[in-house]
Structure 1
């Protein structure tokens, strides 16, 4: 069966592999352009007849061109779509996993081959992936238009709309709307953490998976300052009228100019090192409080949380040239000052790596600052607020043609999706997968599937006494996990404030 009756109309999918049926590019909200630009998502228009859903929908406005993925094409406006893979069309109600892609809130899409849902569907899940507004369209601050306020966090509101679509439609694909897990990586994982403390998302999902959650959030003041910079680069006033008259492609180009200016200027503060312009805005409305504060207060206690981070997160950003290089002690000291790191923190990392070059010390600190330490704090905040959390760490390495392949940012995702054989992930995992890699992927897929189905990924929940953690390596260790022993004592982070608010 590949015909599905959704609330807006009939769609036809296709046989993706074996018994798995996929339906791609289904609208969950109206195109957010024209009169709907910079507004909260509106319902998708109904259609008559059968809509052929055999290809991914258009990607959101962005400048990135990712391997194996479609590029953004100006004029493609129907960007708010979902994709579904189901092993049981018309059959039993199965647990549902909804995936939110990462990409610094500025690039990426659900069409990336490593997000194909076939392997997870074979493991017994109905899998949903989605596109949402990115960059300025999704997260840029827009002043009021004279009639009413323009919401910040439009990308988060898109994600909520997609989850509502899941609640209303997933049963026809064989999914259980009462057993939904929302998952994401990097900015997608941070989005999931935000959804856990948002009133608008309450009750729409029951478990959450966050891989390498990104720590930065913005205050309204930071968001407004960024708008002024982007508008100036576009040659427009930073007003609703000026921004609405600026095309999406012009705002993408202007944002790129601002990013490049930060990259070139080592005196520009914290954004010089990783000049991501956008992040969730602590606006007091859509996002009433940051996830750490909200989870510690119990906002997510009804949602089980599974957290993972990689042990060498930031080496990827260095390898692809998206981060400033720090190679001298003077630069390292300036980096620590620009982020207001506690005295002694860098020395603590150097003590663990006494022979390491400055670059490696910098990458280790920065990776934990943006991802690793924040991941730990999310798990701890969830437990403090009365909820359950499970902690894991991806530490898989191998020898590659150019040396050791690191456990860096994004490397865990194809393993968890069961897509290590996709050509596009060869760079991430260091070439063709080995039999040990495929076995590791099988274990990670089983952990996701078990957690989505029952709330049990296969190891004990985290607490401040046992501090259980599952370490993912190709060499099998204790399948039930063990006590968390991080490479760097976490006490040295005690004086560092989170969430990270970067001017």
Structure 2
């Protein structure tokens, strides 16, 4: 099967030799390669440190352990206390003789900065590797280990991990046939937020050439809010909110305490948004690791030399409602209270009523919340980047389908199995609303090709956003189409609304 001219799945990295496994159609997967030392013991809460080398062939045929968390996702490994060597990368590549170095796509998983891993089935890189990319994904510290405030230690450790993994790519990807000078960072949700942060971080400067961000969340914190969350977690864990106190708590104790605090934030939030969506970990604009929030950084031209491809789903928050991740709002007074809590202009509530005549309050709430958190923020990233002199492309995932169980909505995460070419992966049926049909498979091929073309040469196949016009590619079945945000009723409602990611 596949390309039999390639002798085997063996590669030499700077740390030692690794052996992967053959996948489909001549593709090789090299899994669980350490890019940094285990971030526990003397390394706990510290920046990532170099991994020790090895002399014998290292078996890399299975994913490495995942970061501490309580989540149990379909088809994915779970974290077990004692799992420590969590900072690993995975590589998928198909040998293509005489083609020269291949473009690299570096994937950052999402999960509210709290859960998830690179081992999720819908993140398998085989189809993208067949399209001519070297695909890399990484695990990084999430939850308190990655984003909790610890006095005397650096914040945003999860972002520092990602930057370390990118340095591993720069130093090692040529051994896999990849081009270290043509790296595209890609991510969804918290992974997209991470990619946007990397664009704003001096520590990541020069490590990648392009970025793909799907559903970038409007989710950043101040040091003061992060410290308040830590105080609650420390109290729940029964330790002092100090460096020594938090070091004395095991990762399991902090996972348990964090889950408890997240549950309590719906009734007693630290920030207004947590009463509706109780996510307690997010990147902290600390003036150091993350000097400024990405929206402001891109507006100032901080990464104008990085090409940017942005996408968001048309109905993001319907997914989060379906999985019980957000508070329900079902009455007009509750909707007004929600808008006031998020300090949104009062005109948005009647504005959405006019745009969605006859829609239930719950639907209008989810639409408003989704645009406030994902849609408008994502769109502005592309626009601000373009106005500052960068090259930016914008797209929206709008695929709908009638299914025996109802309508498959274009909701949060549904776009990712399409772009990866993994419509049949474990768990994908829930995300995309059932078994894929031929129209779905055709859409998947188009989205995957757009990713591959953008990673290869910076052009996904439609016009850029400019300082004067926001042209949008709309992914849909049976056919895609182009739209002009200058005529969008939703975007018109948001025009002039200040977007300060730290005010909440």
TM, length-normalised to structure 2:
0.96
Instruction: Specify the alignment match of 2:335 in structure 1.
Output: 332
Aligned-pair distance for 1:15?
0.7
Aligned-pair distance for 1:500?
2.7
Q: Distance in 2 between matches of 1:460 and 1:268?
A: 39
Q: Distance in 2 between matches of 1:90 and 1:135?
A: 42
SS, match of residue 411 in structure 2: coil
Contact map agreement 1:270 1:502 (CA 8 A) in 2: no
Q: Distance in 2 between matches of 1:283 and 1:266?
A: 21
Q: What is the count of residue pairs matched by the alignment?
A: 496
Superposed CA deviations along residues 303-340 of structure 1, whole A, max 9, x for unmatched, are: 00000000000000000011101111121111111101
CA 137–477 in structure 1, closer or farther in 2 if over 3 Å, else same: closer
Superposed CA deviations along residues 360-405 of structure 1, whole A, max 9, x for unmatched, are: 0000000011100000110011012110100000000001222111
**Residue of 100, 112, 116 corresponding to 2:108:** 100
Instruction: Specify the alignment match of 1:113 in structure 2.
Output: 121
Superposed CA deviations along residues 153-191 of structure 1, whole A, max 9, x for unmatched, are: 000000000000000000010100010000000010011
**Residue of 238, 246, 259 corresponding to 1:235:** 238
Superposed CA deviations along residues 282-301 of structure 1, whole A, max 9, x for unmatched, are: 11111111111111111110
**Residue of 54, 62, 73 corresponding to 1:55:** 62
Superposed CA deviations along residues 84-143 of structure 1, whole A, max 9, x for unmatched, are: 000127863100000000000000000000000000000000000100000110011111
Deviation larger for 327-336 or 240-249: 327-336
Instruction: Specify the alignment match of 1:497 in structure 2.
Output: 498
SS, match of residue 277 in structure 1: coil
Taking the TM superposition and a 5 Å limit, the aligned residue runs for 1:87-236 are 87-88=94-95, 92-144=100-152, 150-236=153-239
Q: Distance in 2 between matches of 1:488 and 1:232?
A: 47
Q: Is 1:8 paired with 2:42?
A: no
Q: Distance in 1 between matches of 2:16 and 2:412?
A: 39
Q: Is 1:306 paired with 2:300?
A: no
Q: Distance in 1 between matches of 2:90 and 2:431?
A: 24
Aligned-pair distance for 1:269?
3.2
SS, match of residue 82 in structure 1: strand
Structure 1: gaps (5+ residues): 145-149
Aligned-pair distance for 1:458?
0.3
Q: Distance in 2 between matches of 1:271 and 1:496?
A: 21
Superposed CA deviations along residues 206-263 of structure 1, whole A, max 9, x for unmatched, are: 0000000011111111111111111111111110111000011111100111111123
RMSD of aligned residue pairs (Cα, Å) = 1.5
Aligned-pair distance for 1:264?
4.3
Contact map agreement 1:89 1:172 (CA 8 A) in 2: no
TM, length-normalised to structure 1:
0.96
